[in-house]
């Protein structure tokens, strides 16, 4: 096994102590220029590289931050992580990625492992209700920031989008373009973001004096197939809906495919709006109206909130709830608003 060069090797070679070497390399002012230069050049010659593990152990700072997500190969999480990595890297941190597949046991195990490896913070989009684990993070005083899928906890920061507003805006737009019977393709309402989108949907109906119809709500997973199934089911209602707000772009796509198969004209006779602004929604010939969540921005913001928290570690704990405003993206799957 290759032996790595340490400051002791340099010290021995120059017949000085490791302390001097360390100081020289760190530009400590009370080292003479002659010594400093000698040490630096010798270090170079000997291919010295600092072992940050030793530093981490000594200082208690690993400069690693754990990021926990259900999966990384989705456009949304990929973009969020892009933003996180970009921002943290600038500040000397490295990002350790963990996937949970949305499974609580995996999430808990990953968090345990991250804590053991002394991460300086944990940024998480959670899929679990295992509060004991979060309590443990907090008790250890490891900075914790939720993003997108959060748990509402005292003293814990989070960065989310306003899913209620997203649901409200999407629904309101459908109403403004003349839709009367608006169906909703729901995600798992145990997850806060989906619950909020649903509440936004209901509120928009209420504000516009449209009765909420339970029959128009279909539980779906975020898949094309579930979107198609939902349409098949919805079209049996009497009267059938004339619009769909889907909490997922994938289900929206499936819905559109099925509607086309049934020869229903979009957006003339039926409107569809999705959620997330997945890239494909823009690429379709019949491009899909949707809600943008600014994932890159969310990632950057999450990183910034963490960095602030670290900077403020002396002070009292700060709790910062950042809520990004989602944006309506209008495309061809919904009608234009007709002038009043």
Partner DNA sequence: TTATTTTTGGTAATCGATTACATTAATTAA
Partner DNA sequence: TTAATTAATGTAATCGATTACCAAAAATAA
Binding mask 116-135 for its own copies (x = CB under 8 A): xxx-----------------
**298, 159 contact by CB (below 8 A):** yes
Q: Alpha-carbon distance 201 to 166, whole Å?
A: 9
**Residues that bind DNA in the complex, under the rule CB under 7 A:** 4, 6-8, 15-20, 22-23, 25-26, 28, 30-32, 34-35, 48-51, 53-55, 57-60
46 binds, among DNA, its own copies, none (CB under 5 to 8 A by kind): none
Task: Indicate the residue among 207 and 269 with the shorter CB distance to its own copies.
Answer: 269
Cα separation, 290 vs 118, whole angstroms: 40
Residue 334 gets the label, from left (phi > 0), alpha (psi -120 to 50) or beta, of beta
Which of the choices its own copies, DNA, none does residue 239 contact, using the CB cut-off of 5 to 8 A by kind? none
Residues 6+ apart with CB under 8 A from 133: 107, 108, 111, 112
The pair of three-digit structure tokens given for residue 38, joined into one six-digit string: 């000698």
CB of 298 to its own copies, least distance (A): 12
CB of 276 to its own copies, least distance (A): 13
CB of 330 to its own copies, least distance (A): 19
Count of residues near its own copies by CB under 8 A: 56
The interface partner of residue 117, options being DNA, its own copies, none and the CB cut-off 5 to 8 Å by kind, is its own copies
Among the listed residues 190, 182, 93, 109, the one whose alpha carbon sits nearest the alpha carbon of residue 143? 93
* Paired residues of 63 in beta bridges: none
**331 touches its own copies by CB under 8 A:** no
Closest CA to 271 of 291, 286, 250: 286
Q: How many CB atoms lie within 10 A of CB 10?
A: 24
12, 45, 71, 180: which one contacts its own copies (CB under 8 A)? 71
Does residue 276 sit in helix, strand or coil? Answer: strand
Positions that interact with its own copies (CB under 8 A): 1-2, 4, 47, 49-54, 56-57, 62-64, 71-75, 78-79, 81-82, 85-86, 89, 94-99, 110, 112-118, 136, 139-141, 224, 253, 260, 279-280, 283-286, 296, 313
């Amino acid at each position: 096994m290759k032996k790595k060069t340490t400051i002791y090797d340099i010290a021995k070679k120059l017949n000085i102590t490791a302390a001097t070497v360390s100081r020289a390399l760190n530009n400590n002012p009370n080292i003479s220029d002659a010594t400093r230069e000698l040490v630096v050049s010798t270090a170079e010659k000997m291919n010295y590289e600092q072992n940050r593990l030793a530093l981490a152990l000594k200082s208690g700072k690993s400069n690693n931050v754990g990021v926990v997500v259900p999966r990384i190969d989705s456009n949304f999480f990929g973009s969020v992580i892009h933003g996180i990595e970009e921002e943290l890297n600038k500040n000397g941190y490295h990002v350790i990625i963990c996937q949970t597949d949305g499974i609580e046991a995996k999430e808990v195990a990953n968090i345990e492992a991250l804590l053991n490896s002394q991460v300086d913070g944990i940024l998480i989009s959670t899929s679990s209700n295992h509060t004991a684990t979060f309590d443990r993070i907090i008790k250890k005083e490891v900075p914790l920031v939720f993003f997108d899928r959060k748990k509402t906890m005292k003293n814990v920061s989070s960065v989310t989008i306003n899913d209620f507003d997203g649901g409200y805006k999407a629904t309101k737009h459908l109403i403004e373009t003349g839709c009367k019977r608006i169906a909703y393709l729901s995600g798992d309402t145990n997850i806060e973001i989906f619950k909020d989108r649903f509440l936004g949907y209901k509120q928009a109906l209420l504000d516009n004096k449209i009765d909420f119809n339970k029959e128009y709500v279909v539980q779906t997973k975020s898949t094309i197939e579930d979107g198609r199934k939902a349409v098949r089911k919805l079209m049996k209602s009497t009267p059938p809906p004339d619009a769909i707000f889907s909490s997922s772009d994938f289900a929206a796509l499936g819905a559109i495919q099925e509607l086309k198969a049934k020869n229903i004209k979009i957006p003339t006779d039926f409107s569809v709006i999705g959620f997330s602004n997945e890239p494909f929604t823009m690429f379709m010939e019949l491009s899909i109206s949707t809600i943008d969540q600014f994932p890159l921005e969310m990632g950057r913001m999450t990183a910034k909130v963490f960095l602030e928290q670290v900077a403020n570690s002396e002070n009292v704990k700060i709790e910062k709830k950042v809520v990004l405003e989602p944006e309506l993206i209008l495309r061809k799957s919904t009608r234009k608003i007709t002038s009043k």
